[in-house]
Amino acid sequence: MKLKKQVTVCGAAIFCVAVFSLYLMLDRVQHDPTRHQSGGNFPRSQISVLQNRIEQLEQLLEENHEIISHIKDSVLELTAHAEGQPALPQHPLNGSWVLPAESRPSFLSVSPQDCQFALGGKGQSPDLQMLAVYSLLPFDNQDGGVWKQGFDITYEPSEWDTEPLQVFVVPHSHNDPGWIKTFDKYYYDQTQHILNSMLLKMQEDPRRRFIWSEISFFSKWWDNISAQKRAAVRRLVGNGQLEMVTGGWVMPDEANSHYFAMIDQLIEGHQWLEKNIGVTPRSGWAVDPFGYSSTMPYLLKRSNLTAMLIQRVHYTIKKHFAATQNLEFMWRQTWDPDSSTDILCHMMPFYSYDVPHTCGPDPKICCQFDFKRLPGGRINCPWKVPPRAITDANVAERAQLLLDQYRKKSKLYRSKVLLVPLGDDFRYDKPQEWDAQFLNYQRIFDFLNSRPDLHVQAQFGTLSDYFDALYKKVGIVPGMRPPGFPVLTGDFFSYADREDHYWTGYFTSRPFYKSLDRVLESHLRGAEILYSLALAHARRAGADGRYPLSDYALLTNARRNLGLFQHHDAIAGTAKEAVAVDYGVRLLHSLTNLKRVIINAAHYLVLGDKDTYHHNPAAPFLGMDETRSSQDSLPERTVIKLDTSPRFLVVFNPLEQERLSVVPVLVDTPHVRVLSEEGQPLPSQLSAVWNSATDVVPDVYQVSVLARLPALGLRVLQLHKFLDGHATPRASTRLYLHGRDMPVHKPEAVPLHVFPAAADDFCLENQHLQACFLGRTGLLQSLRQAGEQQVHRVSSEFLVYGTRTSKDKSGAYLFLPDGEAKPYTPRDPPVVRVMEGPLFSEVSSYYQHVQTVVRLYSVPGVEGLSLDVSCVVDIRDHINKELALRFSTDIESDDTFFTDLNGFQIQARRYQRKLPLQANFYPMPAMAYIQDMQSRLTLLTAQALGVSSLHSGQLEVILDRRLMQDDNRGLGQGLKDNKRTCNRFRLLLERRSTANKSSGFFSKLVSMFKALSFSGTRTGSPEVQDERPISFPSLLSHITSVHLNAEALVMPVALEKLALPALRSFVPLATTLPCDFHILNLRTLQAEDDSLPSAEAALILHRKGFDCSLEAKNLGFNCTTSQGKVSLGGLFQGLELGSLQPTSLTLMYPLGTASNSTNIHLDPMEIATFRIRLG
């Protein structure tokens, strides 16, 4: 009876929400003041159009029987579950089993206002849209004379008579935290000497200036200097001589890094600066990343920086921006409806950030003013004209020569303020260089400044000195848009520094470490959140004295190691082999430590009686889910040994949404049952574990269990060994040997059928999808969605790129292929293994260099709506080859495709036929998709790789690259240290709700709303137009991405036979978060002693932008949106929110005053940080 009441209430609520949404929309359409023109009246034609559309909406109201049927289905589903009926799509094998007891139907309720954002249409068009700029330019690479990639610059000497030229020479030293040498070796050999000399030499003359960016190095140096020297550093910073620019742990790669890690290293650097020096960075400095993402300006703006600088941009773009005086611009996010994300960006105009390419257009002249290259030194000028020391006799001639370069460079910018960087990699490491540069330049400045007829004021400056002078000159507040400066949207990939040398290889280089990076990132986020929650609960219970606070030092170390790896030669895969090993050792060390932090937190949180908690580091309460034997090996999963006593598992879900997941566990017996905490049997499937194509691992079985896991919570499960009664359903396997004579070791307890020949074509199917495969290859051929007649061609194939035969060949940075890819032709045909079971089925294809597994889950919710694809790649016997995976479809995508930037946002791309093949590859840290008016195909990835769409309907990704030579960019090595690497993907096919006339009430509603809001403005591809090429993933795509990147962690209770304390599942959230909200982090802040935690934490939230026009299926949990409103007060069960202070992204600035209200609001795409106190 109680159940029926619940059902009635649930059904009525859904119906009311739907009708009320309709009413609001009608009301909005009729009364929205923005729709009235200034005269207050619509033209008659518009009124009639509106009337027609309102009538259509009224007709749609009559179709509400669809809602009723939806409720009816939910009621039936709920009743079926309540009565214990099997809820799975396939018939139960060997007995009955049911969904978890708390299973319930889920619903999707998206506020129509939340759909508006993705439609765009608001805001002004930018002056510079990078997709349009690419379409416009000829990319003809004409010889520009002394400025080879530019043009001849002329000026009239009288141009500065009324407004003198103001020159800021900015000394800098670019310190890579690992590249040719390891981080530590660089520090001991060079960086410590640079900083020691800086401290000494800056104090000799108050006119001297210096900037520094890498806090990883600076903090190491700080730890090794005296209190007296620290005070001197603070004085130099305080009086403006030394500026910390950007202030991140590193200068991150912007192609492969994920936004979690980009933010984390920025917080780590900024928190260190605030605590140790008391300074907040104001300007961004990124001279060396190989291309630039529009995510970075957003993060800097949210951190309260007011300006930024970039350098490595395609030489044709630089030339075009220089010719149009657009090298300084306001960089705005593509999706920003106003100017709230604008930040001033300065683009350096020339080839490099070294001295020959920074004073002006002629490197032969500029090199003569790099006084480290004075005759007798270790480096000289390649242009054969050496620098000369400045004397009274030559100062007039030398100053005039340099001023000519300054004036020419100044002509490329809109203001009469000029920035001239003075430095290079690891410069200023000896006192002699400080003297050579600073004394000679000061003589030049003194001469120039003493001659009023030259109309120039020259001085040393910091980066912010330059930007402050620029803002002062144009008469506006720092951070505002200078008059006449253009607004730009888009990004700066892909980068070429000369000719057709595109830096698109590093999007894939060393994929093993790109994958390990994301595993560590996922563990760090999980450990931060669980540690923060465990600590808050322990403090509330007065048990924090027994809790291992020392775990905080492990978190700090992991933050710093992950941060270090975001460096643009680390995650990029462009460091020496020994340096890559050093990074790998650091990543693995932190991964192991984070597993310990998670285990300790989980141990405390699942104990029924917290008083029994005892932390014993020598004998952890929980075991690890997997181990890695070395920094370059794939993980090996823990095998759980079963005997007569039950074994307990604790499963951690790092997502902020409840998830219905298939959890895999390895056991040593086929006689296993999995029960819930309450002792209810759970749906499970038993399968063999394979060593190779034909060889099973003896006495090891995988039991996969379907479990509903609480959001950010811990679920307790039981494993029982049993010898009688109902067995766990076993998956059956067919093995096709394709004519190869191979011995097969059959598993004992799992059915296996061996076929000597190749298979016929075959299909796998669940309630949502049918996936068909080519029998002879085992590769995917087509997909068909449930309820559709149409079969979509989605065929996969492996391809191989070679490299050129000429002198310039592919290397760690560059992709220089010898033409289009050729089909991968292995020595032997593949062995294909097809496994079918009640929870999932999969196809494994074993080739010589790649083993691919395509899995289809037969479970409700997110897992069953896409294909799980993994490729284990081993190309260690290849020479100068790159292995690619290509999907070919019948989607009419033309030349347009979409890739993500840092997992944060989507950027539209266009295949440029006028550019070489390698120019059309882009980074894919999280996803890429192609689409037409009917469908969208998304490839979601668990590691950053290079991606492209070279023909309509295609998506291809580079899996690994093995290259035998250096590509002449300073590394001095090829890529020959390949590992056996596992690349993991999800393939998601979605149907547009507008593509199908019978696609249901809600989809029609969305399409009507779209038509009402933005009538007739778009043509061609639904989301690409040069003015605002804006696109978003669907909610399903977002959720699939986090499922892929944040897997559930399975931790066995270590005690096998001893009496166990009572364990209880931990459910931390009292309410469900809106499903467009992502908890990016809950990061406990450090105390005065930085190895210990404070009582405060940073809660970082991201509200995702999403596309409503793609049909949403049953996601397996209740997915609602709330127009960006969330109440944090009652979010954490059993904890009180003691304080809530909105802050800038990196917690350096409070935003407004802390109020008693715990209600917050985020705009779509907004990332917001809150300083909170939980207890």
Residues marked as catalytic: 288
Print burial letters for 1016-1051: b (CB count within 10 Å at least 16), e (below 16): eeeeebbbbbbebbbbbbbbbbbbbbbbbbbbbbbb
Bridge partners (DSSP) listed for residue 593: none
In Å, how far are 600, 642, 663 from 1055, measured between CA atoms? 15, 12, 21
CA dist 371 and 1139 (Å) reads 55
CA dist 1175 and 1171 (Å) reads 14
Q: What's the distance, CA 105 to chain centroid?
A: 32
In Å, how far are 993, 1086, 1117 from 108, measured between CA atoms? 15, 39, 8
Copy the structure tokens of residue 672. Answer: 């296993």
In Å, how far are 729, 884, 937 from 986, measured between CA atoms? 26, 16, 10
| 74-81 long-range contacts, CB within 8 A, separation 24+ | 74/7, 74/10, 74/11, 74/14, 74/105, 74/107, 75/7, 75/11, 77/105, 78/3, 78/6, 78/7, 78/10, 78/104, 78/105, 79/3, 79/7, 81/105
CA dist 584 and 578 (Å) reads 10
254 by DSSP, 3-state: which? Answer: coil
Instruction: For the chain, give the number of residues.
Output: 1175
- DSSP assignment string, 383-405: TS-------TTTHHHHHHHHHHH
CA dist 323 and 331 (Å) reads 19
**Backbone angles phi and psi of 188, in degrees to 5:** -70, -35
| 149-156 long-range contacts, CB within 8 A, separation 24+ | 149/315, 149/316, 149/318, 149/319, 149/351, 149/498, 150/318, 150/319, 150/322, 150/349, 150/350, 150/361, 151/319, 151/322, 151/323, 153/361, 153/408, 153/409, 153/411, 153/412, 154/411, 155/407, 155/408, 155/411
CA dist 45 and 34 (Å) reads 18
Copy the structure tokens of residue 432. Answer: 């002699």
β pairing state of 307-310 and 343-347:
parallel
Is the Cβ–Cβ distance between 905 and 1165 less than 8 Å?
yes
Cα radius of gyration (the chain): 31
Q: Around Cβ 782, how many Cβ atoms within 10 Å?
A: 18
Copy the structure tokens of residue 929. Answer: 């998709």
Burial class of residue 1116, CB neighbours in 10 A (0-12, 13-18, 19+): buried
CA dist 258 and 260 (Å) reads 6
Copy the structure tokens of residue 381. Answer: 């000028």
DSSP-assigned letter for residue 919: G
By C-alpha distance, which of 404, 388, 408 is closest to 448? 404
902 by DSSP, 3-state: which? Answer: coil
β pairing state of 840-846 and 831-836:
antiparallel
DSSP-assigned letter for residue 510: S
CA dist 148 and 717 (Å) reads 67
326 by DSSP, 3-state: which? Answer: coil
Print burial letters for 100-124: b (CB count within 10 Å at least 16), e (below 16): beebbbbbbbbbbbbbbbbbbeeee
Residue type, 497: D
Place of tokens 């959720």: 1039
